[in-house]
Amino acid sequence: MGSASIQFVVFGLAAAVLANLGHARWWRSSVLLLASIAFLYLLEPDPLTYLPLAGFLLLAYFACWVVQHKSPRLVGWSVLILVLVYIWLKKYTFLPQASFLRFPYFTLGLSYIFFRVLHLVIESGEGKDKPRLTPLSYLLYTLNFTTLLSGPIQRYADFIRDQHAIEPPPLGIRVAGLQLERIIRGFFKVNVLAILLDGSRQDALLQLTHPYAPMPMRYLAALKLSVVYPFFLYCNFSGYIDIVIALARLMRLRLPENFDRPFSASSFLDFWNRWHITLSNWLKTYVFNPLLIAFMRRIASPGLQSASAIFCFFVTFFLIGLWHGRTAEFIFFGLLLGAGVAVNKTWQVALTALLGRKRYNSLSSNPIYVAFGRGLTFSWFAFTLYWFWSSWSQIHSISSAIGLLPWLGVWSFIWLTATMVLAAWEILRALLLAPKVASGPLLLTRYARVVYATALGFVAVVMVLLLNQPAPEIVYKAF
C-alpha cells in the first residue's frame, strides 16, 4: 500500500467511518489503535522486523516513567541514551559497521517517533503539567497511522485533547466536505503534479551533464536539476500531509499544519516558518530556545547576544540536516542550512543597525526588495537540495561538466528567473482572489471549490487508473 495511493486513502476513510460509528472515548481509541496496527501490518507483515522498534518504544516509555516518577534530573541522560540508540538503529555511517544489527528490521517512521518520544521525556521532567501517560495513550500517540511515516509532529497535549475528549471536535457536513476536498487536492499533488515532476528523471538529466554532451544541453540539464526538484519535493510531501491531516480530522483528530505557501517566503528564515513547520517548531522549542537562554544568562553585551542568537540559529538548522540523513552529504546539507539562516539573521541585524528599525521595516515591505528576497530564498533552498537527493560523485560530475563560472551564471539566472516568476505568481494569485462575494473571495466559495475539487479528482483518477501510474513514494517517508 503506497503512502498516498488510492488504497491508503480508502483505508483512512474506512478507519474514519468506523471511528464515527461510536462517540465513546474507548471506541475512538480502539479504532485508532486497530487501524494503526493494521497499517503497520500492511507495510510489513513480518512481526520479527518490529522487534528493534518495539525495544526503542519500550526504552522511551521507561525513560518517561523514570523521569516523571523517580528523578527529573535524569532528563539529560535519558535524552542522550535515546539519541544514541536512535543513531545506532538508523545506522549512521560514522559508527562501525560491525556494531549494527545483522538482520533487516522496520525503521519507517522512526525519525518522527524519535521526535515524539523526546518531547515526552523532556516534558515529563519539566513543570507541573507533565504528560499523563498510560501504555494505551503512549502507543496511540507514537504509532498513530496518520502521523507515523512523515509527520506532522504533534504535541502530546494536543493529541490527548482530541483523542480523550468527552466531546471530540465536531464533524458536520461542511467540515467533512472540506476534508474530502483537501484529500482530493493532496491526492492530485502527489499522483499528478509529483509524477510530472518526478525526481526519477534526474538520472536522465545527469547523463546530459556529462562532458560529451553539447554545452547548451549541459546548461539546460543543470537548470532543470536545480529548479524542478524543489517543486517535486513540495508536491510530494505537502500532498501527503494534506491527505493525512484531512483523514485525521475525519477521525475527530486535529493535526498541526505543516506548510504555509513556502515559496512565498521572502527570506530563508521565513521559509522555514512555512516549510515543515512542525519540525521547525520542535527544534525551536527544544534546541534553539534553551540554547539561546543559556547564552543570554552568561552574556551581558548586546552585540555578543546578537552573535549568540546567530550561532543558535546555525546549530538548530545544522541539526535539521543531520536528522535528514546518515551520510556525509547530509552533514554538508546541515552546514548549508545553518549558513543560510545565519547569514540571513546577520543581514537582518546589520541592516537594522545601519538603517534603524523603522527604515528597515519599510525596506522589508518594499515589493522589489521582497521579490528579490523571495527569488534568493528559492535559489538557496534549491542549491542546498543537491546534497539532499544526490551524492558527492554526482555533484562533482555536474560541477566538472559545467565549470565554476558558468555554474555561477546558472545560479544567477535561477535567482533572477525565480524572482520574476514567483512575483508574477503572487500578482496572479492576488488578481484571482480579488473578485469578492458576501462570503469572501469568489474562487473560495463552496460552489467554486466543488467544481475545482471535482476537476482535480477527475484528472487524478484518470491518471492513476487509466494511465496505470503508481503513486510515487513519499520522499520524507525515508526519514
Region 163-170 average pLDDT: 82
At 217 the pLDDT is 81
Secondary structure (DSSP) of 243-289: HHHHHHHHTT--PPP-BS-GGG-SSHHHHTTTBSHHHHHHHIIIIIH
Q: How confident is the model at residue 304 (pLDDT cuts 50, 70, 90)?
A: confident
At 460 the pLDDT is 87
Per mean pLDDT, which range of 28-42, 103-117, 430-444, 457-471 is the poorest?
457-471
From CA 31, how far away is CA 168, in angstroms rounded? 14
Backbone angles phi, psi at 441, to 5 degrees: -55, 140
Q: Which residue has the higher pLDDT, 277 or 440?
A: 277
At 101 the pLDDT is 93
From CA 299, how far away is CA 306, in angstroms rounded? 10
Q: How confident is the model at residue 93 (pLDDT cuts 50, 70, 90)?
A: confident
Q: How many CB atoms lie within 10 A of CB 47?
A: 11
Percent of the chain clearing pLDDT 90 (strictly above): 64
- What pLDDT, in 10s, does the model give residues 102-121? 999 999 999 999 999 999 99
- Judge whether 151 and 476 are in contact, CB under 8 Å: yes
